[in-house]
Amino acid sequence: MEKLKITAILLLVILPFYGQQKTDDKKIIFAMIDDYSKSVIAKDSVVFYGLFNDGNVTWCAGYKDRTQAKEIEAKGKVKAGSNYFSGSYKGFMRSLFRHQSTEDKFDNIKVIEDGTVASVTMDYSFWADGKMTNWGSKYLNLIKRDGKWKITSVIYSLEMIQYFKQPALKERYRN
């Protein structure tokens, strides 16, 4: 009986700290997403690059089927594999300088993490020169390296606004 009381007391003392760590990690990851967005607006490559892991980072996007169909209709027959592209976060940052203003807006953000790795899903819309150009879903994978969260991959779907408007948030909400 005495061991049971000690175990119960230890659990009451330890569990709040365990839960707090997860809450803190999620807060840090949400702050990273905010830094990501702010660095796109400011075209701040130092902050933006600092969010990513050293070495290879996957950066890949795929056109949604209906946008791909519209692209084929508009441009004619396209080569195999043209519904996706890959690049780099550095290339993405460099591309921002073609525009007067840029913004990557995020909503419907979900974070799953275990203190070492994390997955973030969100809806996004990309804006250039005050106009939305494309939107879709974005998926980030992160790793906690040397006590700091770093993005290891960015994969997203693309709908072109010239073909399809982004639905309202309540229509996009995922559980």
| CATH number for 99 | 3.10.450.50
Interacting residues of 130 by C-beta distance below 8 A, sequence separation 6+: 101
Residue 2: per-residue pLDDT: 60
Instruction: Tell me which residue has tokens 């807006």.
Output: 105
Other Cβ atoms within 10 Å of 63 Cβ, number: 22
pLDDT the model gives residue 23: 72
Per-residue confidence (pLDDT) for residue 79, from 0 to 100: 62
pLDDT, tens digit only, all 175 positions of the chain: 565 454 444 444 444 444 444 579 999 999 999 999 999 999 999 999 999 999 899 999 999 999 999 988 888 766 656 788 899 999 999 999 999 999 999 999 999 999 999 999 999 999 999 999 999 999 999 999 999 999 999 999 999 999 999 989 888 775 5
pLDDT of residue 15: 46
CB atoms near residue 113 (< 10 Å): 17
pTM beyond 0.75, yes or no: yes
Q: Which amino acid is at 109?
A: I
CA 140/CA 151 separation, integer angstroms: 7
- Structurally, how many domains does the chain consist of? 1
For residues 137 and 128, the answer to whether their CB atoms sit within 8 Å is no
Domain span at residue 109 reads 2-172
- Check residue 172 and give its pLDDT: 78
Element counts in the chain: helices (H) and strands (E)? 5, 6
Question: Rounded to whole angstroms, how far apart are CA atoms 163 and 28?
Answer: 36
CA distance 45 to 35: 11
